[in-house]
Amino acid sequence: MEKLKDNRTLIGSLILFITLLWGYAWVLMKESLQYMGPFTFSSFRFGVGAITLLLVAWILKLGLPPKKYWKHIVIVGILQTAIVFLLVMYALRFVDAGKSSVLLYSMPMWSSLLAVKFLNEKLSLAKSIGLFIGMLGLLTILGWDIWIGQSPEMIIGEILIILAAVSWAVANTYYRLKLENLSQIQVSAFQMFFGALAIMMVTLFMEHHEPLLVNSKSVYYILFTGVFASALCFTLWFLILSLVDMVTATISTLLVPMFGLLFSSFLLGEKMTFGILGGSGMIIIGIIIAQKKRVHDT
């Protein structure tokens, strides 16, 4: 591990690799809706991802979490996996993949606000300015399109994705409060398992009548997002967290919406409006400023 910490080229390559995969996954999530319902796809994706991560945990001989943590793991699974991706996948029926990725990755802003309230972290001047700019970016993405006659379905979809970002932020805060002492891979594997179970129950209730088209493309979308974008990338992400500081690692996720926008534009032909580009830039600038630490900050 010490040698890996000194290998900045390898760490940078890993960060670039996982953010590329996560950005590309937004295209597959959008395309999967041609073959199955959004909840059905999420059931397959996180079912495959949970099985893969549980296998990794078994190989590493991590064992089962202590009983006192099970309730908290279930709560994180509901917040981080079930609610986030039920909302996101449903919203993708109406919202472009690129814009969706930008809105979901507003999560660090909500996390900063929750950290002040529940983790007793101070909201520095830099964080306050960053949050303000980020909020303006969200309004730019939503407000610009509202003024040009955006459909009510698309507006609702965008609001659902923002709610998903808030749920993700709540999950991060709850993790810090209740589960920080557990192995990150162990927590991720079991929270994804319980989150997948919740998604499957919603799927059976909401989409039992929905058509399911199984072919090489739909299987590829499930396997890629489940094995690579979920299980593999989360495993590499936990490795990165052990090699670099949290601020550096979190800032690196800002590459995801940028790649999401690029892949969606080139592969899906989604239009890049001034509202999306301007708002996206403001969100990214806001997140960077909000997480910037100065020497005199406490």
pLDDT tens-digit readout, 212-240: 999 999 999 999 999 999 988 888 887 77
Q: How does 287-297 read in b/e, with b if 16+ C-beta sit within 10 Å?
A: bbbbbeeeeee
What's the pLDDT score for residue 245?
57
Q: Quote the mean pLDDT of the chain.
A: 85
Instruction: Give the pLDDT band of residue 259 (cuts 50, 70, 90).
Output: confident
What's the pLDDT score for residue 140?
79
265, pLDDT greater than 80:
yes
Helix (H, G, I), strand (E, B) or coil at 216: helix
The residue-averaged pLDDT of 79-107 equals: 90
Helix (H, G, I), strand (E, B) or coil at 45: helix
> Which of 8, 14, 13, 24 is CA-nearest to residue 229?
24
The residue-averaged pLDDT of 183-208 equals: 92
The residue-averaged pLDDT of 64-75 equals: 94
Please name the residues in contact with 235: beta carbons below 8 A apart, sequence gap of 6 or more: 53, 56, 185
Is the pLDDT higher at 148 or at 85?
Answer: 85
